[in-house]
Amino acid sequence: MVERRLTGMIAAAVVLIVLFIVWDAFKPTPRRSAARDPDADAPLRIAEPPPAPPSPLPQPTPPTTTSQGTTVPAGPNGREPSYIELLARSETRRRIRSSGSTTYLGEMLETGGDSTLRRWENRTTAPIHVWFAPTHAANFQPAFIEAIKRAFGLWTNAGVPVRFDFEGDSTNAEVTVKWRIQFEIERTGQTDVTWDENGHIQNVTVTLATFDPKGRPMDTDDIRIVATHEIGHVLGLGDAAVSTDAGEFALSPRGITSFLQHVAPPQSLAQTLDTRVREAELIEKLDGGAVRCFACGHRCLVKPGRRGICKVRFNKEGTLFTPAGYVAALQCDPTEKKPFFHCLPGSDTLTFGMLGCDFHCGYCQNWLTSQALRDDAAGVMPSDVTPDALVALARRQGARMVGSSYNEPLITAEWAVDVFKAARPAGLKTAFISNGNATPEVLDYIRPWTDCYKIDLKAMDDKRYRELGGVLQHVVDAIRMVHERGFWLEIVTLIVPGFNDDDAQLTRAAELIASVSPEIPWHVTAFHKDYKMTEPENTPAATLLRACEIGARAGLRFVYAGNLPGRVGRWEHTYCPDCGDLLIERYGYVIKQQRVGADGRCPSCSRRIPGIWS
């Protein structure tokens, strides 16, 4: 009797396991919720980076980034090309030398320098073990594995000085290939690299999606293209991709390369950060050891032993200290992602961030870094770095700009200026991606070293701003001050249903910008549920289109709808306000056509298009 009962229990357990596997394989694409997997989320889930090189390294000449008049061929059978094909095909020759005899891959193999190819030592005799992690992700097909092996073969045939085998398992794998259903941003793959103290790669994780960002299932060709791109990152190349029709190696300008992975902070994160500081400059010393801070619009009076609202600037015995010498987020990604649409179209920006913010927005997409020391669930370990090392990395990646973002850069302005002072002589443009809670003092401090400034205009209702920890008038004043000081300025409004999406607020925002200058680009972007704000529905495309029409009626000449590629019609593109010609055609971060010359003029009517074009 006991044996019969035991047999019945085992059979029931087997049935439950089978049902779970079947359900997991066919469950719908998950939506973002408040409880998230930190290892399968946006690229700002970060960890310890590669150490700074022990000695100065030679810098290869950055490849050209011109992309005049590039068009995208149709997909197989004449159908409209998919998002993946656009990524792979768009500007496939953008960074191949005009001679046509040497691809960028060949150049990297020949130049030596600090290519990560050099960090897989003696791997032609001792192969790198690749392991394919098991998965039950929807749409996964066994043929995907063979497609990835073909992608590895393309790199091997190109002559890279490493060799791979596919006999690895979870215990000895140096490259692990994992799967997820879909990324929640415009990407289909991600590569994370772990380095040892000597700068040698220890292991790599490549994560591929089985559905593209628009929810369409990936096929084997899509997987091969994305895998080839990501293997380029495994080998240390920046944004390598293969054209499906030409089979050529090139650099896609729309890749996102993350250099850090997520490592949760220890209990003493504040103590850890307080050792990575320098004396602040944006201050006024007062009686009794108190200090007035001018880094942001709060103008905190910080007494000895206390911190400012941002939590990362603190007074120790009458001296105000500010963060320096580390990053908590570091990516090389499209300049359009900042977003800057009128600055070096098709280029990449090395973007770094620190910890802390002077606001506490409930929908912050970068809360893990921005809300450190304010929210116990936020915060990551800082990674020490020097300004010169960041500039060297930017040049190796072929970036044309360095930007400070991911937390509020005003509160770490001294560190940003330290980096920009190294970037400017190297020929790089520089940018602040900010909430705009600025003071005249901080803008005057950063202006000599900063080219571009992006401001988030979050609402036109002061009550709404105070819910986020700010004051509307401070941002209104900052918009005028930034423009008056000659920064290249672009403004973004994230439209949140029920928060700032009413016609009255959108009209006031557009009229404010137009009163400063109708030439300032205004980006309206779609909210998605994040952090603590999970009740409003995601912003529909129709709302963005309505906001764009409001902006145009207010007299703004450059209004853009962002982060819903292919769903907002003409509002993704740049047109000449005078003759109406299409100047820059975009699909998300992909530049399909770029006709503005280095002189910044419309090629048809010679109208000056405001921005930075060279």
Domain ranges of the chain: 76-252, 269-323, 326-568, 573-614
Q: What is the pLDDT of residue 320?
A: 98
Give me 128's structure tokens.
């790198």
Q: What mean pLDDT do residues 265-269 have? A: 67
pLDDT tens digit string along 536-558?
Answer: 889 999 999 999 999 999 999 99
pTM for this entry: 0.64
**Within its chain, how far is the Cα of 500 from the centroid?**
25
pLDDT in tens, 369-395: 899 888 888 878 888 999 999 999 999
Question: Mean pLDDT throughout 471-479?
Answer: 98
Structure tokens at 344: 């070096």
The kind and range of the H/E element at 476 are: helix 472-484
Query: What is the rounded average pLDDT of the residues 280-297?
Result: 97
**Statement: residue 54 has pLDDT above 90:** no
**CATH class for domain 326-568?**
alpha beta
Q: Which amino acid is at 455?
A: I
Note if the bond before 448 is cis, omega within 30 degrees: no
Q: What angle do CA 391, 396, 397 make, to 5 degrees?
A: 95
The pLDDT of residue 547 is: 98
pLDDT of residue 76: 39
How far is 388 from 394, CA to CA, in rounded Å? 10
Element containing residue 272 per DSSP (H, E): helix 269-274
Q: What does DSSP assign to residue 209?
A: E
Please report, for residues 32, 424, 581, the alpha-carbon distance to residue 420 in angstroms, rounded to integers and kept in the order given.
Answer: 36, 6, 36
Given a contact cutoff of 8 angstroms between Cβ atoms, the answer to whether 552 and 577 are in contact is no
Amino acid residing at 196: D
Q: Whole-angstrom Cα distance, residue 206 to residue 494?
A: 31
Digit-coded pLDDT (tens) for 444-464: 999 999 999 999 999 999 999
What is the percent of the chain with per-residue pLDDT over 70, rounded to a whole number? Answer: 72
Structure tokens, 452: 């571009």
- Taking all residues of the chain, what is their mean pLDDT, rounded to a whole number? 79
Q: What band does 244 get if pLDDT is binned at 50, 70 and 90?
A: very low
Q: What is the pLDDT of residue 378?
A: 83
The pLDDT score that the predictor gives to residue 37 is 33
Hey, what CATH topology would domain 76-252 get? Answer: Collagenase (Catalytic Domain) (3.40.390)
Distances in Å between the Cα of 224 and the Cα atoms of 83, 85, 184, 390, 583 are: 14, 11, 21, 31, 32
Q: Is the alpha carbon torsion for 557, 456, 422, 200 positive or negative?
A: negative
Rg (alpha carbons) of the chain, rounded to whole number: 25
What percent of the residues of the chain are helix, what percent strand, and what percent coil, each to the nearest 5? 30, 20, 50
Tell me the average pLDDT across 406-427. Answer: 97
Per-residue confidence (pLDDT) for residue 253, from 0 to 100: 34
The DSSP code sequence of 401-444 is: EEEE-SS-GGGGHHHHHHHHHHHGGGT-EEEEEE-----HHHHH
The per-residue pLDDT for range 153-185, each reduced to its tens digit, is 877 766 666 778 888 787 888 899 999 888 766
Please tell me the distance from the alpha carbon of residue 395 to that of residue 443, in angstroms, as a whole number. 27
- Ramachandran angles phi, psi of 456, nearest 5°: -85, 115
Q: What is the largest CA-CA distance in the chain?
A: 93
Tell me the residue type at 22: V
What is the per-residue pLDDT for 321?
A: 98
Burial class, 389, CB count within 10 angstroms (exposed 0-12 / middle 13-18 / buried 19+): buried
Token code pair at residue 503: 């016609």
Say what the pLDDT of residue 255 is.
Answer: 57
